[in-house]
Amino acid sequence: MTSLRSGRWSGLMVAGLLAGVDLAAAADPELRITGEVEVVYDWSADRCRNEAIPDLAARAFRDAEDRVQLIVSHTEAIRMIGPNLDAVEVACDPVSRSAHNADPSLFSDAEWIAAPYTEDGMTVYALVHNEHHGHDHDGQCPSGDYFKCWYNSVTLAVSVDGGASYRHAADPPGHLVASFPAVYEPDGGTYGMFTPSNIIRGPDGYYYAFVKAQAYLTRQQFTCLMRTAALADPGSWRYWDGESFAGVFVDPYRDDFRFRREHTCRAIASNDIGQMTDSVTYNSDLDRYVLVGVSADSPDGEEVWGFYYAFSDDLIHWTRRRLLKEVPLPWTVTRPQFVSYLYPALLDPESPSRNFETTGRTAYLYYTRNNLGHTSLDRDLVRVPVAFFDGK
């Protein structure tokens, strides 16, 4: 297993933060696109079924046979397999199917494989993005509006056959990893815990992942950081509470708690990274973490949406996000059928990590292109080469 940061945190960076000085700001490197777009998964030509679409950020790992598996994740996920990231081909058999359970308290409705991680290439644990779709179940959504009846959580799946199939890591709701401390409310709006990043192993032996929270009632969105020492245990994940990783997620249907705020994860560097959660890697060339995600900023007074990146020494404190690529997003296009983009992720074919946790001087930015808008199934997974340059 590749050791991230060679078993150390950056003492210089910590000292600078304690002194109120951002030592990284003056010399931040730049991440730039260096080549042309190439198609990895062409929906029109490669699909095995219409619903086989890249609907989350690209994730990859090397299995026990030293093959690369690239997940094409939707409510029924498939994989692409090959000797390396540059030569993967579609395998049509689904690796996971959603349970579509109508009981919101079981957290197993529409399920996306979001973050697979394996130590040996045979047993694979995966964080799952679970959407409870009230509008799909009789009597649960008076308005019939998808967005008014969307209740989200993060759960855990496991594969014991090298990624060929995934199942719940425990009988529902025992597979619950992270939930917002509020039960499902018909027409209550969109809220919960969403879109976990890939999992990355720290020098302390813990496994880390980012997750987006959207609060009940206020609809505030923010990024949280959570970790565990035991991937097999869904209930072992703890979130950063502002001082330490002591925050405990609750099951709002079964746990006794009085105050919602006591069990709501804390925002990580909101002013700097916004709600970015798509992809985190450790860059061995820069000796820093790199976060990539969808965001907006207004450097010149005009809001610009697109794919952004930021750097960190400790996963908690981040540099101000910088624009990598301005792109139209599903909520910024003037017409819903116009091309839009989502789900950026950095993957380095040369990464020595079995789970592609690391990047070097060069890598690829993978992302989804919605050819006819986000309401269409015509979506391709594409990539462009990127490189890091000294910020001098």
The tens digit of pLDDT for each residue in 17-32 reads 333 334 344 468 999 9
Q: Report whether pLDDT(383) > 70.
A: yes
Please tell me the predicted confidence (pLDDT) of residue 17: 34
Q: Which residue has the tokens 């777009």?
A: 37
> pLDDT digits over 270-307, tens only?
999 999 999 999 999 999 999 999 999 997 889 999 99
User: 390: pLDDT confidence band, cut at 50, 70 and 90?
Assistant: confident
Q: Which amino acid is at 207?
A: Y
Give the pLDDT confidence score for residue 272 in this predicted structure: 97
Model confidence over 208-262: pLDDT tens digits? 999 999 999 888 999 999 999 999 999 999 999 999 999 999 999 999 877 667 8
The per-residue pLDDT for range 306-334, each reduced to its tens digit, is: 999 999 999 999 999 999 999 999 999 99
In three state form, how does the secondary structure of the chain look? Answer: CCCHHHHCCCHHHHHHHHCCCCCCHHHCCEEEECCCCEEEECHHHHCCCCCCCCCCCCEEEECCCCCEEEEECCCEEEEEEECCHHHCEEEEEEEEECCCCCCHHHCCCEEEEEEEEECCCCCEEEEEEEEEEHHHCCCCCCCCCHHHHEEEEEEEEEECCCCCCCEECCCCCCCEEEECCCCCCCCCCCEEEECCCCCEECCCCCEEEEEEEECCCCCCEEEEEEEECCCCCHHHCEECCCCCCCEECCCCCCCCCCCHHHHCCCCCCHHHHCCCCCEEEEECCCCEEEEEEEEEECCCCCCEEEEEEEEECCCCCECCCEEEEECCCCCCCCCCCCCEEEEEEEECCCCCCCCCCEECCEEEEEEEEEECECCCCCEEEEEEEEEEECCC
Query: pTM of the prediction?
Result: 0.92
The yes-or-no verdict on residue 123 having pLDDT over 70 is yes
Average pLDDT, the chain: 92
Sheet containing 358-359: which strands, arranged edge to edge?
A: 322-326, 304-312, 288-297, 279-283, 358-359
Domain locations in the chain as residue ranges: 4-389
Percentage of residues in the chain having pLDDT higher than 70: 92
pLDDT at res. 28 = 82
Beta-bridge mates of residue 238:
227, 248
CATH superfamily, region 4-389:
Glycosyl hydrolase domain; family 43 (2.115.10.20)
pLDDT digits (tens, 9 = 90+) for 142-199: 999 999 999 999 999 999 999 999 999 999 999 999 999 999 999 999 999 999 999 9
